[in-house]
A and B are shown apart, each in its own frame.
Chain A
Amino acid sequence: MISFSHVCKRYPGGLEALKNITFTIAAGEMVFVTGHSGAGKSTLLKLAAAIEPPSSGSVIVNGQNVGALRARAIPYLRRNFGLIFQDQKLLFDRTAFENVMLPLHINGFERREAARRVRAALDKVGLLDREKAFPVTLSGGEQQRLAIARAIVHRPAILLADEPTGNLDADLAAGIGELFRSFNRVGVTVVIATHDAAFAARLEARVIALREGALAS
């Protein structure tokens, strides 16, 4: 489903974020990418989602070489993903409902069907009663769950999450972990970048460990 082969990523200024990374993630797998901050976890996810191109090597997603994609094709590739960002990137001038609606709107869903799916996604993360709330009025854990609802509402094949439990306490993190596990159980490929080794260990999934941009194991 996702395969990196000999991938390097250098940023202008000489920083080498990833060095010769090779791995494959099969469809339906759940994988943690771990490492200290600065180890290259976020960069790895960005390369997978075609947010940045690799400097060398190839990133293959769904059989498509991400680095070689034309700019016009990238949006269609991204629709395969559910992305959960470190800073969530919620839109603060829209209600929870409208935030979750955005991907469906972009994907061209018919309105009634879209509303049904939005409510299902909000229900899944336990925010159904907050659909009219604006993100500022939500707690940190609720905002994170809202971001997850937005990522899964269009039923993507792959879920990429960057530090989804970054600023949550252990209980909330465990709840989010369970949520990911449940998506994985219905066949979604889940890739989670985290610095929290305990969180990764608890979910008993495969781990890709990064150290200073290289594979550690």
Chain B
Amino acid sequence: MRAWFGHHLHSFLGTLRRFARTPVATLFNVGVIGIALALPAGLCVALANLQGFAQALASDPQISVFLALDTARGDAEKLHARLKEHPGVRAARFVPREQALAELKANAGLADVVESLAHNPLPDAFVVEARDASPQALERLRDELGRWPKVAHAQLDAAWARRLQAGIKLAGLAVAVLATLFALALVAVTFNTIRLQILTRREEIEVAKLIGATDPFIRRSFLYFGAIQGLAGGAAAWIIIWAALLLLNSGLAELSQLYATRIQLRHLDAADSASLLAFSAGLGWFGAWLSVHQHLAQIAPR
């Protein structure tokens, strides 16, 4: 057991030394793997953020009912009562036009524009929450409310968010395809580096075989090499995404100040980070294994 552990430690340290001996080549290999992984992983992060955003919007589907501009307050109150009695409506909130203007003024940094208006261009409105949140029911309710007298327009607020969600699902599929391709690229890169390693260490392998090294013994240092290179590539990808988010978030901070909301992109959480690293190390190991399997048998001592 001790000897076994010693063997592995020795292989591990030997591999690190080998990396240190060719720092430039190592850096480039790790860089290539890092970029190859950063693309799909970065897209995953973007999608996760977008999804969180869309879910927050879509979770509470509302119908905005805008009244005609010339509606008298009394008519509006009658409509309010009718809405409350409607079996499909869970709640209806009246937003008078003055309040809407005040909110607009406070919210969106448009105070100057609102100040300069001669009269209030906004209509009275209701914000209606439906009892049944399924898209079909919502659309039916919207159409019905839109046909009521004095109603100028009824709008399903969450419709675009739902469409966005469907779009995200599709994009997720595209990312999965992309991730598969880049995973293959990682395996190919490792395959080739290991092939070169085996060629340059041919003599060493030959001598080791002559002295009585078993195949697993010889394989081990190459497998370590592949796994460590993959792991380093995964770490590089993580750093690339982290740096990109840092850059984007500083830009977003400005933007979100304008909209008086807080938009912040989140990095991979601990579990996802760990699986990124495990995945990249595993792929590196696999590439090395394929290469070793392919090339080691060709080296027979003479």
Q: Do A and B bind each other?
A: yes
Q: Residue A110 contacts which of B3, B211, B302 (CB distance < 8 angstroms)?
A: B3
Taken together as a complex, chains A and B put the C-alpha atoms of A77 and B301 apart, in Å, by 15
CB distance from A87 to the nearest CB of B (A): 10
A202 interface hit (Cβ, 8 Å): no
Are A108 and B207 in contact, with the CB atoms below 8 A? no
Q: Which of A75, A111, A150 has the most CB of B within 10 A?
A: A75
Residues in chain B near residue A51, CB distance under 8 A: 210, 301-302
B11 to A, closest residue via Cβ: A105
CB distance from A40 to the nearest CB of B (A): 15
Are B211 and A78 in contact, with the CB atoms below 8 A? yes
Are B210 and A78 in contact, with the CB atoms below 8 A? yes
Taken together as a complex, chains A and B put the C-alpha atoms of A91 and B205 apart, in Å, by 10
B214 interface hit (Cβ, 8 Å): yes
Taken together as a complex, chains A and B put the C-alpha atoms of A106 and B208 apart, in Å, by 8
Could you list 12 A-B pairs, sorted by A, with CB under 8 Å?
A72-B215, A76-B214, A78-B211, A78-B212, A83-B210, A83-B211, A91-B207, A102-B208, A103-B211, A107-B212, A110-B6, A150-B211
Residues in chain A near residue B203, CB distance under 8 A: 89, 91
Instruction: Find residues 201-219 in chain B having any chain A CB closer than 8 Å to their own CB.
Output: 203-204, 206-215, 217
Residues in chain B near residue A72, CB distance under 8 A: 214-215
Residues in chain A near residue B212, CB distance under 8 A: 75-79, 81, 103, 106-107
Instruction: Find residues 1-47 in chain B having any chain A CB closer than 8 Å to their own CB.
Output: 2-4, 6-7, 10
Taken together as a complex, chains A and B put the C-alpha atoms of A150 and B207 apart, in Å, by 11
Residues in chain A near residue B4, CB distance under 8 A: 108
Are A106 and B213 in contact, with the CB atoms below 8 A? yes
Are A102 and B2 in contact, with the CB atoms below 8 A? no
Q: How large is the interface on B (under 10, 10 to 19, 20 to 34, 35 or more residues)?
A: 20 to 34
Residues in chain B near residue A102, CB distance under 8 A: 207-208, 211
Interface 1/0 per residue, A18-33 and B, CB below 8 Å: 0000000000000000
CB distance from B18 to the nearest CB of A (A): 11
Q: Which of A85, A105, A110 has the most CB of B within 10 A?
A: A105
Known pairs A75-B213, A108-B7. 5 more at Cβ < 8 A?
Answer: A75-B217, A83-B210, A89-B206, A91-B203, A103-B212
Interface 1/0 per residue, A91-118 and B, CB below 8 Å: 1000000000011011111110000000
CB distance from A149 to the nearest CB of B (A): 13
CB distance from A29 to the nearest CB of B (A): 22
Instruction: Find residues 247-302 in chain B having any chain A CB closer than 8 Å to their own CB.
Output: 301-302
Residues in chain A near residue B211, CB distance under 8 A: 78-79, 83, 102-103, 106, 150
Interface 1/0 per residue, B217-257 and A, CB below 8 Å: 10000000000000000000000000000000000000000
Taken together as a complex, chains A and B put the C-alpha atoms of A109 and B2 apart, in Å, by 10
> Would A91 and B213 be within 8 Å (CB), given that A51-B301, A105-B10, A108-B6 are in contact?
no
CB distance from B146 to the nearest CB of A (A): 79
Residues in chain B near residue A103, CB distance under 8 A: 211-212
* 10 residue pairs, one from A and one from B, having the closest CB atoms: A78-B212, A79-B212, A108-B3, A75-B214, A106-B213, A75-B212, A103-B211, A89-B207, A91-B204, A106-B211
Residues in chain B near residue A81, CB distance under 8 A: 212
Taken together as a complex, chains A and B put the C-alpha atoms of A150 and B208 apart, in Å, by 12
Instruction: Find residues 141-174 in chain A having any chain B CB closer than 8 Å to their own CB.
Output: 150
CB distance from B298 to the nearest CB of A (A): 14
Are B210 and A106 in contact, with the CB atoms below 8 A? no
Residues in chain B near residue A83, CB distance under 8 A: 210-211
B207 to A, closest residue via Cβ: A89
B301 to A, closest residue via Cβ: A51
CB distance from B14 to the nearest CB of A (A): 9
Interface 1/0 per residue, B176-220 and A, CB below 8 Å: 000000000000000000000000000110111111111101000
B204 to A, closest residue via Cβ: A91
Residues in chain B near residue A111, CB distance under 8 A: 6
